[in-house]
Chain A
């Protein structure tokens, strides 16, 4: 088993099975008909994990004419409610595919997905598409990178939010509309009662992202995935959106996954960080651990390529040499070895074997063939002074 959190998350009321639905207001929001498996209630499945979200050995492969694209290749992590996980990595490291995989949104029949995704005691990979569809937007929802293209240009924002609400809640249009206005107000849109009838193009970029968030949160989802939520926005607006996500998370007590290549965003929002490389997790730990005591050479590279204001401008950034690997011909052994400056120290092991994910200190796991002591030594002697 892969990522093990050192300290067990506080076993608060959000933990475990039956209690999960007892948060105020959620009782009335269950889908009528009850064709959801009983998993949401008592622990019906003995294999069901304790964590709210538990991804185990997830693999998402896309067969193409050029070969099999291994977008996600054996990824495991856990997330509890009330916590925020930041997934970072370069383009093509499998961040977005992971999130789409959790929601069951990867392109139709093209993808081959295996492994397990447990959400609140229910397994999603083997579940029918319709069962996953019913959870989407209700129990788990997602906000996307570019809010302009992610909103339908022909419908008012009110209609789009109402639609998201009504598909999971049997309410009248009037009630849904009131809820939509309510949500718009909650995400900080001024004069929500009149703006509810505006179209997406009538909003500014930041306001559009607020609309997206209002839509995603309209059914009180317990899991919110934000895929590069601030990348398409003005720098001045980015902080506001991050604040909003954090505030809403506190209000709804939801689990949040933030996917980004911007380490600043992660530092701002996340409790835990998962660093991905070539479809695999390479380092996992609390934000504090990963930023203060990173142990994977790739994480060092990420930190080195981040521009910092508190440093002299004459100093050059330290980019990671080489380019991200092809996901069709993933390098043997440790996928990072062709770009790793410390590859030789493993004595060829990194070229031959995929490094196992091992706990280095409690709650901090790393997939690297270098011995933990040596990694810490390199970080302290060679890397940290240059950052």
Chain B
């Protein structure tokens, strides 16, 4: 909770303090919102509407107040009410930031959920097998591919896969178009296969390397020798004893990665034109739409904090040494 407050102060400071520190006056900031044909009067009006001349602490209070209780924005002659978790109002989109976030979140959520399942399963499986057959052809092959996976940027692998699968082999003749899960689950999955695998490729490569290293270390532990000395079948030794111990740190990293990703998989969404949070924030940055950037960053911060919390709780459940 305290962390969330810190996140909100930090983001707020970056977006409101930094421009000022860089020498921008409130006039210049307001100018961005007014658009063409700005007159001193319209600038003044905008400044008042956005409370740009108030002290920063008051502005921050207003920002937090909006999140907690909602707030009103006057828009020309009209006044728009922005209900409770209000992260501000995007005058460019004519929508409260919250509803934009709510629109875009399912896309990012779908992308992250599917990809994370794929990378966790394949990454861990490949890592474990590689560790058990250290030095074999499988191990060397897998680690070469993994090296490629962590080295190639998503916009490269994404575009290559689009070119090959969607346009050359026509598996996705119309490209990738997001369909919501509720309207058609099959179409949803079909359209997300390429983004999922592209994103998962990177992470699976990372996880395979992590898992392999962890397993190699664990297999040398004394308690693995004990497990063998008990006469347990090798399969039990690996699954119950070695994997149990080496997957704990993997789970920690998984939680954090997932939290981070929920704030927007910027590259993947841009590459496949998926209307998710990442795409939203990219557009907002290019369009100077400050409230949206602020909102997405706050949401991303929230997810990271949440993921951290979950990981901590989970860790206590997994590792008895943490409990006592």
Contacts and interface: CB of A to CB of B under 8 A. Distances in A.
A, B: real partners: yes
A149 B221 contact: yes
A134 B221 contact: no
A137 B228 CA distance: 9
Given A146-B222, A152-B223, A215 B230 contact: yes
B231 A149 contact: no
Contacts of A212: 226
A216 B241 CA distance: 17
A212 B319 CA distance: 20
B231 A150 contact: no
B223 A151 contact: yes
B225 interface: yes
B77 interface: no
A103 B321 CA distance: 31
A284 interface: no
A142 B229 contact: yes
Contacts of B229: 103, 105, 136-137, 141-142, 144, 216
Contact of B226 (A150, A156, A201): A150
Interface stretch (A69-77, A160-168, A248-256): A160-168
Contact of A149 (B222, B232, B233, B236): B222
A201 B320 contact: yes
Contacts of A202: 324
B113 interface: no
B225 A150 contact: yes
B137 to A, nearest CB: 15
A141 B245 CA distance: 23
B244 interface: yes
A291 interface: no
A153 B226 contact: no
Contacts of B318: 154
A103 B231 CA distance: 10
Contacts of B321: 153, 199, 201
Interface residues of A, number: 29
B244 A154 contact: yes
Contacts of B319: 153-154
**Mostly helix, strand, loop or mixed at chain A's interface?**
mixed
Interface string A143-180: 01010011111101000000110011000000000000
**Mostly helix, strand, loop or mixed at chain B's interface?**
helix
A153 B232 contact: no
Given A144-B225, A153-B223, A164 B230 contact: yes
- Most chain A beta carbons < 10 A, residue from B231, B232, B241, B320: B231
Nearest to A134: B231
A135 B232 CA distance: 10
Nearest to B225: A105
Contacts of A144: 222, 225-226, 229
A154 B320 CA distance: 6
B125 interface: no
Contacts of B227: 152
Interface string A74-99: 00000000000000000000000000
Interface residues of B, number: 23
A133 interface: yes
Contacts of B222: 144, 146, 149-150
B228 A136 contact: yes
A141 B230 contact: yes
Contact of B320 (A149, A199, A215, A216): A199
A150 B230 contact: no
A150 B227 CA distance: 9
Given A199-B320, A202-B324, A149 B223 contact: yes
A206 B318 CA distance: 26
Given A199-B321, A201-B320, A201-B321, A151 B226 contact: yes
A153 B320 contact: yes
A152 B226 contact: yes
A135 B244 contact: no
B226 A136 contact: no
Nearest to A103: B229
A152 B228 CA distance: 12
Interface in B175-214: none
Interface string A110-147: 00000000000000000000000111111001101010
Contacts of B223: 149-153
Nearest to B220: A107
A387 B241 CA distance: 49
Contacts of B244: 152, 154
A24 to B, nearest CB: 22
A154 B234 CA distance: 19
Contact of A154 (B228, B233, B236, B245): B245
A152 B245 contact: yes
A133 B232 CA distance: 7
14 contacts: A133-B233, A133-B234, A136-B229, A137-B231, A142-B229, A149-B223, A152-B241, A154-B245, A154-B319, A168-B231, A199-B324, A202-B324, A215-B230, A216-B229
